[in-house]
A = this chain, B = another copy of it.
Amino acid sequence: MTHRLLAAAAAFALALPAAAEEPPPTPLSPGEIVDAAPAADWVAIAPSDLLVMDLAPDAAGKARRVVIQLMPAPFSQGWIGNIRKLAAAHWWDGTSINRVQDNYVVQWGDATEKKALPNGLVTVRESEYEAPLDKYLQAALHTKMKSEEAGLLAAFRQSGDKKVQAVKWAIPRDPFAEETLVFRGWPIAVDRQEQSAWPVHCYGMVGVGRNLSPDTGSGAELYTVIGHAPRHLDRNIALVGRVVAGIEHLSSLPRGTGALGFYEEEAQRVPIASVRIASELPAAAQPRFEYLSTESASFAKYADARANRRDPFFIRPAGGADICNIPVPVRRVGTK
């Protein structure tokens, strides 16, 4: 059955009339570009960077697994270290999803606020909401980076806007920050004057609930974005990762009826059966994921297509995109 669709998939490839010369190829959609990316353009995510949250099965008895990829250094490592300790202590087992606010967040943790935290959690300072640009570039340069990219990034740091344009995935017109870019698999905002960089609250990003400043949260209370990117939270609260699978188990939950979307009744809270770092699971049971390298030509093509939709459904390419309109493709490897 065909449906009136508002966005085309591969099924909408045009049939072009025969001509003496080869017709230009039908422009690919962003999804088609991703699907065509060679294996070498994909980067395996280390199992130690995956947080695996199993909710209680749904009403039909189906499993509900949410997988979260944790951010790399230099971002938010204090909270991420705490999260690793909490997961190792099986601390979230028996906690719950407590808040679902439409066009905002799903939040989970210990509804009683009485459960003792494991030993060894660190208190993270507010300054850690951002990473110094120095450290950011250093972390980048210490990895196996192509020299060309290193050149581009060094130029980016030292130069003015013209060089920034040369970094294809930098988006200069952003209402919230001097500039935003997708770097090493993550959406980042940068302020070169302040020499700092910070993660951005796109859909599916995971952050750390806290009380009022100077509290920064331990990592025991987490949330994910299920609506339009609440960029006003950037630099005000820690981001630690993103949901890479199973977001639908969170975004489709009934909305809470209490203030800020909190569930008012115990029975409404969704039990969390377990949360584990994937590397703690038996090897055969570890889910595996990979992301499209943001340093690859495929990603550059994909980002360009997101900003300029030329595939058949579209009439007028936008000529631009915001950082959260260019989500980094992440896919499962195998079937777990």
Measuring CB to CB, which residues of chain A are less than 8 angstroms from any residue of chain B?
1-9, 11-12, 14, 98-100, 102-105, 107, 109, 111, 113, 126, 171, 173-176, 202-204, 207, 209-213, 217, 221, 223, 226-237, 247-248, 251-255, 259-260, 262, 306-307, 309, 312-322, 324-325
Beyond A4-B109, A4-B210, is A229–B228 a contact (Cβ under 8 Å)? Answer: yes
Assembly stoichiometry (copies): 2
Q: How far is it, in angstroms, between the C-alpha of A307 and the C-alpha of B231 when the chains are bound?
A: 10
Query: Are A318 and B176 interface neighbours, CB within 8 A?
Result: yes
Of A3, A14, A260, A318, most buried by chain B (CB within 10 Å of CB) is A3
Query: Are B252 and A213 interface neighbours, CB within 8 A?
Result: no
Q: How far is it, in angstroms, between the C-alpha of A320 and the C-alpha of B111 when the chains are bound?
A: 34
Query: Are A175 and B4 interface neighbours, CB within 8 A?
Result: no
Select one of B171, B212, B251 contacting A102, CB under 8 A: B251
Set of chain B residues within 8 Å of A104, measured between Cβ atoms:
7
9 residue pairs, one from A and one from B, having the closest CB atoms: A175-B320, A248-B255, A4-B221, A6-B209, A203-B228, A175-B322, A4-B209, A173-B175, A232-B318
Query: Are A306 and B232 interface neighbours, CB within 8 A?
Result: yes
CB of A206 to closest CB in B, whole Å: 12
Query: Are A321 and B228 interface neighbours, CB within 8 A?
Result: no
Set of chain B residues within 8 Å of A255, measured between Cβ atoms:
248, 251-252
Set of chain B residues within 8 Å of A7, measured between Cβ atoms:
104, 233, 260
Query: Are A235 and B316 interface neighbours, CB within 8 A?
Result: yes
Query: Are A232 and B4 interface neighbours, CB within 8 A?
Result: no
Query: Are B316 and A251 interface neighbours, CB within 8 A?
Result: no
Set of chain B residues within 8 Å of A6, measured between Cβ atoms:
105, 107, 207, 209-210, 221, 223, 233, 237
Set of chain B residues within 8 Å of A103, measured between Cβ atoms:
203-204, 247, 251
CB of A180 to closest CB in B, whole Å: 9
In the complex formed, the residue of B with least CB distance to A202 is B228
Select one of B2, B5, B254, B325 contacting A231, CB under 8 A: B325
Set of chain B residues within 8 Å of A309, measured between Cβ atoms:
232, 236
